[in-house]
Amino acid sequence: MQRGELEPSQALERLVHLPFVDTPHARVDTHRALRSGLPEVVYGPGKTARQIAEVVRVQRGAGLAVLVTRIDAATADAVLREVPGGEYDAPARLLCYADGEAPVRGKGTVLVVSAGTSDLAVAAEAAGVARHYGNPVETLHDVGIAGIHRLLASSEQLRKARVLIVVAGMEGALPSVVGGMVDKPVIAVPTSVGYGASFGGVAALLGMLTSCASNVCVVNIDNGFGAAHVATLINRL
């Protein structure tokens, strides 16, 4: 029997001294970049251009890259007027500030597959973030399962990817089919696309969680960012 209080864990000691910065509205975790090896990310919705600009300025002041997600064109413009030097990716609704291209640290290709044209925005977010995080990224769009030959024709591409992100709304079955065709981890992203019994993405979410393909794991509805984050960590292994 081992007594916990007898081992003064070095990790915990270190934890005491982890850095953060108290601002009027936030306790910014400046250690996160070190800890996760990834730049700070700001979730755009519900924040004013001013609030976003403030965070961006702090990060840039510290010489750090920063990424704003789900930001519409108008807000991005306003932020860029306050803090120039960023780049806006409209379909992905991403605003990126960085010093040059992200160095490629991903060891293989992250392939972003999407089912229908309405899933493109979420797929673009996933692809954009994955690129910003230093992954070689490929995309394969509009290969929904009701015309399965379109997907089959790209099976080589599927098999060459190191990590796959599969984006689908409606019944969300694409990850199951893709999962059965590859021996790599598949990160499934349900989208809120659809109407009626799709219940804002719930049908797709449940379909992905109950996938008969065992190499599928799932992130939140429309969470292209999270999928790219997980894919990045996997791709750096």
Subset of 29-48 contacting a second copy (CB under 8 A):
29, 31-32, 35-38, 41, 43, 45-47
Q: What are phi and psi of 187, to 5 degrees?
A: -100, 115
To a second copy, the closest distance from the beta carbon of 126 in angstroms equals 12
Residue type for position 83: V
Sequence-distant (6+) residues with CB within 8 A of 232 are 38, 106, 110, 129, 130, 133, 134, 135
Q: Which residues pair with 28 in a beta bridge?
A: 21
Least Å distance, CB 174 to a second copy, is 8
From the CB of 207, what's the least distance to a second copy, in Å?
4
> What is the contact mask toward a second copy in residues 53 to 92, using x (rule: CB under 8 A)?
----------------------------------------
Identify the H or E element spanning 21: strand 21-22
Of 60, 108, 136, 138, the one binding a second copy (CB under 8 A) is 108
User: Least distance (Å) from a second copy to the CB of residue 101?
Assistant: 22
Q: For residue 181, which of 213, 229, 145 has the smallest C-alpha distance?
A: 213
* Binders in 156-185 for a second copy, by CB under 8 A: 156, 159, 162-163, 170-173, 176-177, 179-181, 183-185
Which residue in this structure is represented by tokens 């960012």?
225
Pairing of strands 137-140, 40-43: unpaired
CB contact at 8 A, 121 and 91? yes
Pick from 75, 83, 112, 225 the residue near a second copy by CB under 8 A: 225
Using CB under 8 A as the binding rule, whether residue 138 contacts a second copy is answered as no
Q: Does 27 bind a second copy (CB under 8 A)?
A: yes
Among 74, 107, 135, 161, binds a second copy (CB under 8 A): 107
Structure tokens given for 202: 């719930």
The least CB distance from residue 102 to a second copy, in Å, is: 16
Please tell me the distance from the alpha carbon of residue 153 to that of residue 123, in angstroms, as a whole number.
Answer: 20
Report in angstroms how near the CB of residue 149 gets to a second copy at its nearest: 4
